[in-house]
Amino acid sequence: MSEQVYTHAPVLLAEVLAQLAPKSGGLYVDATLGRGGHSEAILEASAPDGRLIGIDRDPRALEETAPRLARFGDRVKLVHAAFAELQNVLGDERVDGLLADLGVSSPQLDDATRGFSFRAEGPLDMRMDPTRGLSARELIAETDEQELANLIFRLGEERRSRPIARAIKRLEASGEMNTTGDLRRATVSVLGPRRTGGIDPATRTFQALRLAVNGELEQLDALLAAVPDVLVDGGVAAIISFHSLEDRAVKRAFRGDERLEPTTKKPIVATDEENDRNPRARSAKLRAARRLSRGEEAR
């Protein structure tokens, strides 16, 4: 769960392709386009006429990734949308495969102006879509201390959420809760400096606020509910998660829906070689499920 500045390599790429098995003529959705690494590989594997719809909440991701995928022409369509809008994006179309690579992307972490990282001073924003919703600073201002403590405990799994919330609100009341550095200082004042080999003391609090600002778990639930409806019979959904709250939701959805058959008994994790190349992969877990046909459901 620790935050690091990563390269922009797509995580678990070979494993994702093995699950989705892209084919010529297929239609695929990358619900987290990011910088297009997974999308590019899916389009290459589904040549010459497989199609892909790339979706992202972040307008900048769409803008910066469009040139990378331009060589695929009308085989690719990019859409600014959130998970909850997936069925509206697809309309009557059904897809052979769906991928979601959850959480904050490497470019979002690397850009201090987005406010996701505690490693560099930036505005306390954290919105994946800067055109919508409250920033983290605004959320803190509109949330009382008890609600903030509950949020940090529930979404960050931070045991010392109460004193952290108290420290945050104390700084906020004095006009000193405007940047990522301010938020980190509040958490460090409670938890102390980073221990050797441990995660940064701000990690869980930053995670909690990011999840809250973007409604990430609610968006994930909406995506998981839509999966059986948007897949063709035999279609596969592959979802990469990075912390236990996400992984539990995916596991529960894939195992609990009679229309789906998990194709991964346990989550797939990165090889040692990939972890060495791309530290972001260390906490990644891939789960996949196949859409059963109506005939199989009836058995």
> Residue 4 has what pLDDT?
35
Query: What residue ranges of the chain are covered by domains with CATH 1.10.150.170?
Result: 118-214
| Dist. CA 274–CA 270, nearest whole Å | 6
Average pLDDT over residues 246-258: 97
Bond before 201 cis per omega within 30 degrees:
no
Please tell me the CATH code under which domain 13-107+216-297 is placed.
3.40.50.150
Q: Write the DSSP symbol of residue 282.
A: G
pLDDT band for position 229 (cuts 50, 70, 90) = very high
* pLDDT interval class at 296 (50, 70, 90): low
Cβ(190)–Cβ(167) below 8 Å: yes
Q: What is the predicted pLDDT for the residue at 7? A: 40
CA–CA gap between residue 123 and residue 112 (Å, rounded): 8
Phi-psi region of 62 (alpha: psi -120 to 50; beta: other; left: phi over 0): alpha
Rounded (10°) angle between helices 13-20 and 37-45: 40
Q: What is the reported pLDDT for 227?
A: 98
Classify strands 95-101 and 76-80 as parallel, antiparallel or unpaired: unpaired
pLDDT computed for residue 110 by the predictor: 82
pLDDT > 50? residue 218:
yes
pLDDT bracket for residue 195 (50, 70, 90): low
**Helix axis angle, 145-156 to 161-173, nearest 10°:** 130
pLDDT digits (tens, 9 = 90+) for 55-72: 999 999 999 999 999 999
User: Does 76 have pLDDT greater than 80?
Assistant: yes
Residues tagged in the binding site annotation: 36-38, 56, 83, 101, 108
pLDDT at 103: 84
The pLDDT tens digits of the residues spanning 174-184 come to 999 999 999 99
Taking the C-alpha atoms of residue 132 and residue 180, their distance in angstroms, rounded to an integer, is 20
The alpha-helical segments, DSSP class H, found in the chain are 13-20, 37-45, 59-69, 86-90, 106-110, 136-142, 145-156, 161-173, 180-191, 203-214, 216-230, 244-256, 272-277, 294-297
Decide if pLDDT at 295 tops 80. Answer: no
Average pLDDT, the chain: 94
Percent pLDDT > 90 in the chain is 87
Q: Which numeric CATH code is attached to 118-214? A: 1.10.150.170
Tell whether the model's pLDDT for residue 278 goes beyond 60. yes
Give the residue ranges of the annotated binding site for S-adenosyl-L-methionine: 36-38, 56, 83, 101, 108
Q: How many angstroms separate the CA atoms of 162 and 107, rounded?
A: 32
CB atoms within 10 A of CB 155: 21
Intervals of CATH 3.40.50.150 along the chain:
13-107+216-297
